[in-house]
Amino acid sequence: MMIEADGFLPVNLLTGFLGSGKTTLLKRILSDPAFADTAVLINEFGEIGLDHDLVETVDGEMVLLRSGCVCCTVRGELATALKDLYSKRERGLLPPFRRVIIESTGLADPFPVLSTIKADPVLRHHFRAGNVITTVDAVNGLRQLDTYIESNRQAAVADRLVITKTDLADDRTTQALKARLRTLNPDASLVMATDADLDLSSLADMREKASLGDNLSPSGFYCEEWLQLVSADGAPHQTTISSIALRVDRPVDWTAFGLWLTMLLNRHGARVLRVKGILNLKGEERPVAVHGVQHLVHPPVHMEAWPSEDRASRLVFILDGLDGALLKRSFEAFTLARMPPVAPSLAAAQ
Ligand SMILES: Nc1nc2c(ncn2[C@@H]2O[C@H](COP(=O)(O)OP(=O)(O)OP(=O)(O)O)[C@@H](O)[C@H]2O)c(=O)[nH]1
């Protein structure tokens, strides 16, 4: 089946620092009927694909969601993923989606993503830059802007700034964050994720356009200029960021795990940029999703079902200046010590 008279499909970029609420916003977007006919590309950071696992409706690398969206994981180059998507659309293997949303990783520099479309001769015949939607966490946002250049870049190139977690932050902090964002990016519209009246469709560039004249969005125009500005003297410097994935095959004791995580974040929260995972807890049929961002631990969420056959507990940590190998040893010592296969004294006697 061939698609008729295609225009240029807008590619919207959903970005924002680690744990700032990109996936949470994306889930809302995916369930909004206004976003039927949307293809969503999800990127991953870390050794195992937890982003992918944590979207409960996903099964495999490319799925059709009930809402009419196509959802895929980007494994290699973004340009390849976009071309693949377009070719499947043309061949009628996918519904004729009208727009794309890419969820970037929390540490992504938005500029290469935006320039991918402009730079690629094939892509620029089918796609155009849509909106950059940037989530900023009200609890951790100011500190992240002070410390990480990526956070500044993500905010500076945004067409839409979405402040999340205002329900967890005091009003003064939220106002200070707003003022800071306004200085970095006076033109973007600024909304609160918790606002009951938030019109999600106003965040993305929704329209397929027929003429090339429309083929440049403000972010496409101003991107390089802005990046130079926010990279100027006095801007935060890149630090040592690494990720570590942990895996435990035996069910985990929630109390032991909770204690270990609390101790870790009390002591090193500033250096634990993000922790997320899926846990197989002792005595629980369903998996539990855990999320933390620096000192903030979000309430654990019981998921409906395991997303795949794999029943192991899996955690990904993104660390700044903290030794992942040490963290792994501490986790293993702690969790294994609390759930020995046989009593240690018996094991020693054998
Ligand atoms: N209370 C509250 N929690 C939120 C809000 N937005 C997101 N969260 C929680 O913050 C945690 C991280 O949210 P995600 O949506 O996974 O963040 P993310 O930006 O996709 O994370 P990464 O992909 O790891 O960078 C989760 O536990 C969410 O439930 C909000 O507005 N209020």
Residues 7-65: tens digit of each pLDDT: 899 999 999 999 999 988 988 888 888 998 999 888 653 332 334 333 333 335 666 66
Q: Determine whether the shortest distance from the Cβ of 128 to ligand 1 is under 6 A.
A: no
State the closest ligand 1 atom to the C-alpha of 164, by its place in the atom list counted from 1.
31
Write the CATH number for 308.
3.30.1220.10
Q: Determine whether the shortest distance from the Cβ of 67 to ligand 1 is under 6 A.
A: no
Q: Determine whether the shortest distance from the Cβ of 126 to ligand 1 is under 6 A.
A: no
Among residues 230, 253, 275, the one where a domain terminates is 230
Residues 16 and 148 in one domain: yes
Range of the domain at 310: 241-340
- To test the ligand 1 pocket, which listed residue (13, 15, 23) has its Cβ within 8 A of the most ligand atoms? 23
In this structure, which residue's CA is closest to atom 13 in ligand 1? 21
Residues 94 and 162 in one domain: yes
In a domain, 116, yes or no: yes
ipTM exceeds 0.95, yes or no: yes
In a domain, 348, yes or no: no
How many other CB atoms are found less than 10 A from the CB of residue 255? 11
In a domain, 347, yes or no: no
**pLDDT per residue as tens digits for the range 292-334:** 999 999 999 898 888 788 999 999 998 999 999 999 999 988 8
Q: Structural domain tally of the chain? A: 2
**229 Cα: distance to centroid of ligand 1 (angstroms):** 29
Cα dihedral 162/164/170/176 (nearest 10)? -30
State the closest ligand 1 atom to the C-alpha of 298, by its place in the atom list counted from 1.
27
Whole-number pLDDT of residue 329: 92
Residues 101 and 121 in one domain: yes
In a domain, 2, yes or no: no
Judged against a pLDDT cut of 50, whether residue 4 lies above it is answered with: no
- Cα–Cα distance, 271 to 263 (Å, whole number): 13
Among residues 171, 199, 230, the one where a domain terminates is 230
